[in-house]
Structure 1
Amino acid sequence: MSELRFDQVTVRYGAGSRALTAVDGVDLVVPSGQVVGLVGESGSGKSTLARAAVGLAGVSSGQILLDGEPLRRRPGGRRPLQMVFQDPYSSLDPRMTIGDSIAEAVPRSGAPRRQEVSRLLELVGLEADRAPAYPGALSGGQRQRVAIARALAGQPDVIIADEITSALDVSIQGTVLNLVRSLQRELHLSMLFISHNLAVVRYVSDFIAVMYLGRIVEFGPAADVLADPQHPYTKELLAAAPRRGSTTLLDPVAQLLADPAAQAVAERAAQVVADAEPADPHHPPGGCRFHPRCPIGPFVLADREHCLTIDPTTDADRRRHRAACHHVAGALQPVTAGSVAKEDSL
């Protein structure tokens, strides 16, 4: 078990006017022996952050630490981080047997490779005699089990699972999630579990981090974030989940304004959200990056121009769940540009 820490990590691609900052100053901790679920829509930077952790994407600034030390290979060639990729059809070499694929990741020291392959196959719910089979002979769920076994073969300190159920049939997703949860508990793994599906994340995670346009906008214990989300974007994700029932994006507005004009404001918020274009990641909005889509932002409430220019991530640590929002928890008092830095925690 080890702690994985992202310390002001930034990842940029390209240069000039088409440069893209896919990950922008991310601070995130995966505690030892815990699962952090990282959730956000496509293009938010989740997979780029994962690829940076395992060395598949260069870090432009900041650092990634394991137990407070820079990442480096362990004795015997053991890699401290291992990644399970989204697509089980492309993550395994079709020309290699599944036994050879797993054996390739086993460190040079330790148990004999054939014995270790058998143990790992049984650990993920596959029969040891499947080792001579090729990936093409397996179902998608079985291939993902092999990919998990291959990741465990490297004896990692941290597992990074990137959308590992999204390419699977719905009927198979549950069995893979049950496997991940049971393995994590049995082996006390530290894990960064990435998904765009909040229902999936809530099932396996101890903590939830919400990412939007390259930044973490909310982080906290899973039960707390799900029961009392602070950031409007988190509320949007929860509103889209089937279990939210009647809760909608407009609930923050209803909580904020308890006067006869509340309905008109709610209608305006609905229109703003409906009309908002997807943000261009090459040219993200200034101030709060969510403000063009925010149902309690400056395009709905006229006294919130500060959301256009003042970045709420700079003082997010003093808010509940480190929410990157000037108006978390339905604050009743309007925040002015001069008072944002002095606003009490909510």
Structure 2
Amino acid sequence: MRVRYGGRRGLTAVDGVDLRVPSGKVVGLVGESGSGKSTLARAAVGLSPVSAGRVLLGGVDVRRLPRRRPLQMVFQDPYSSLDPRMSIGESITEAIPRGRRRGAAAEIARLLELVNLDPDRAGQRPGQLSGGQRQRVALARALAGRPEVLIADEITSALDVSVQGAVLNLVRSVQRQLGLSMLFISHNLAVVRYLSDFVAVMYLGRIVEFGPAAQVLADPQHPYTRDLLAAAPSAHRSLFDVRADEPAVLADAEPADPHHPPGGCRYHTRCPIGPLVRTERDLCLRADPAEAAPSRRHAAACHFSEDETPGLVIPGGTGA
């Protein structure tokens, strides 16, 4: 898939992404701000134009499916995603397919109970609810369409820390109960590890690593993934046993201009194992590592991932 805004001087926010969300599984999509995560999500649900490629569900282009949208999205900001003039019940009813609205009251009560809210809240307006309660309503509204795939875009980042864990537990419970496929977008690796079966790492519009969550987080192949792990909050940093002789010189550098991404490997301007550190590795300046990525472990878009991957150990644990 490719998503481009503007003309010749425009921005390619998503560039040649090929990502699969297995049925009934959760794929965590991680990357720093500006990497293209939200654009990819919005394109999947039809809110951003797809310049090239398709979004397939069960092998069928979603644009050719019936009017009922099989993909639904929960947005980052619970304060702007709900219409303040509509009651909670009205917002949920709007998302229920027209053919099932005759029993809307019972369906609204069922959905509110599913997200651990009192059905009596249906008559209230968003301004009467907390941020965590609004995000539960947003989840109920997304589920009203009975989707097969749910996309959650940074749904806890705008919430108080005290309620983030409760919302994450709810999302995991609902996903398992309904057997939903889910694309879960976050910059928080601890959250992704808690929820996800698979992890995809995105940088400058491209997927640079993908694989089972436990394997990617325990044995990352791409240097960008390792830099993300090293930049995790201090409470988690001690979990990662990074090789002492690896040069940590460029991870905090600014990303390249997305309007003019560098040739070759897009990460070479920051890479701690690339040509700025090892001048003999000029291959990174000339050749795109994405072309041979499928043959590498975790489909890593790195020419030297198999030569440089350090051994990391992450102890078990399930806390968010």
Normalised TM-score (structure 2): 0.92
Instruction: Indicate which of 231, 243, 263 corresponds to 2:236.
Output: 243
Query: Which residue number in structure 1 is paired with residue 22 of structure 2?
Result: 31
Residue identity matched to 2:47: L
Query: Which residue number in structure 2 is paired with residue 322 of structure 1?
Result: 299
CA distance in 2 between partners of 1:278 and 1:331 (Å): 22
Query: Which residue number in structure 1 is paired with residue 91 of structure 2?
Result: 101
In the alignment, is the contact (CA less than 8 A) between 2:273 and 2:308 conserved in 1?
Answer: no
CA distance in 2 between partners of 1:25 and 1:49 (Å): 11
Residue identity matched to 1:159: L
Instruction: Indicate which of 70, 77, 80 corresponds to 2:70.
Output: 80
Query: Which residue number in structure 2 is paired with residue 305 of structure 1?
Result: 282
Query: Which residue number in structure 1 is paired with residue 175 of structure 2?
Result: 184
Q: Which runs of 4+ in 1 moved over 4 A?
A: none
CA distance in 2 between partners of 1:35 and 1:272 (Å): 31
- 1:14-63: CA deviation from partner (whole Å, max 9, x where unpaired): 1123x100000000000100000000000000000000011110000011
For residues 1-346 of structure 1, the aligned pairs below 5 Å read 9-17=1-9, 19-72=10-63, 75=66, 77-110=67-100, 112-241=103-232, 242-245=235-238, 247=240, 251=243, 254=244, 266=246, 269-274=247-252, 276-331=253-308
Residue identity matched to 2:248: A
Residue 246 (structure 1) shift: 6.6
Q: Calculate the aligned-residue CA RMSD, in Å.
A: 1.6
CA distance in 2 between partners of 1:320 and 1:231 (Å): 10
- 1:246-284: CA deviation from partner (whole Å, max 9, x where unpaired): 747x73xx5xxxxxxx5xxx5xx433445x332100001
CA distance in 2 between partners of 1:29 and 1:174 (Å): 27
Gaps (5+ residues) in structure 1? 1-8, 255-261, 333-346
In the alignment, is the contact (CA less than 8 A) between 1:73 and 1:79 conserved in 2?
Answer: no
Identity %: 71
Select the structure of larger CA radius of gyration. 1
Secondary structure of residue in 1 paired with 2:18: strand
CA distance in 2 between partners of 1:68 and 1:246 (Å): 40
CA distance in 1 between partners of 2:103 and 2:239 (Å): 56
Secondary structure of residue in 2 paired with 1:88: coil
Flag the 1:210–1:273 CA change in 2: closer, same or farther, 3 A.
closer
Secondary structure of residue in 1 paired with 2:254: coil
CA distance in 1 between partners of 2:143 and 2:250 (Å): 46
Query: Which residue number in structure 2 is paired with residue 258 of structure 1?
Result: none
Query: Which residue number in structure 1 is paired with residue 314 of structure 2?
Result: none
Flag the 1:314–1:187 CA change in 2: closer, same or farther, 3 A.
same
Flag the 1:321–1:133 CA change in 2: closer, same or farther, 3 A.
same
CA distance in 1 between partners of 2:99 and 2:114 (Å): 20
Residue 244 (structure 1) shift: 3.2
CA distance in 1 between partners of 2:131 and 2:97 (Å): 26
Residue identity matched to 2:288: D
Which structure is higher in RCO with an 8 Å CA cutoff and minimum separation 6?
A: 2
Secondary structure of residue in 2 paired with 1:28: coil
Residue 74 (structure 1) shift: 5.3
Residue 202 (structure 1) shift: 0.8
- 1:51-95: CA deviation from partner (whole Å, max 9, x where unpaired): 0011110000011101001004755x4211100000000000000
Flag the 1:73–1:119 CA change in 2: closer, same or farther, 3 A.
farther
In the alignment, is the contact (CA less than 8 A) between 2:227 and 2:251 conserved in 1?
Answer: no
- 1:155-200: CA deviation from partner (whole Å, max 9, x where unpaired): 1110000000000011111000000000011000000000111111
CA distance in 2 between partners of 1:133 and 1:228 (Å): 48
Gaps (5+ residues) in structure 2? 310-320
Secondary structure of residue in 2 paired with 1:62: coil
Residue 330 (structure 1) shift: 3.1
In the alignment, is the contact (CA less than 8 A) between 2:82 and 2:91 conserved in 1?
Answer: yes
CA distance in 2 between partners of 1:131 and 1:115 (Å): 11
In the alignment, is the contact (CA less than 8 A) between 2:210 and 2:298 conserved in 1?
Answer: yes
Secondary structure of residue in 2 paired with 1:211: strand
CA distance in 2 between partners of 1:235 and 1:273 (Å): 9
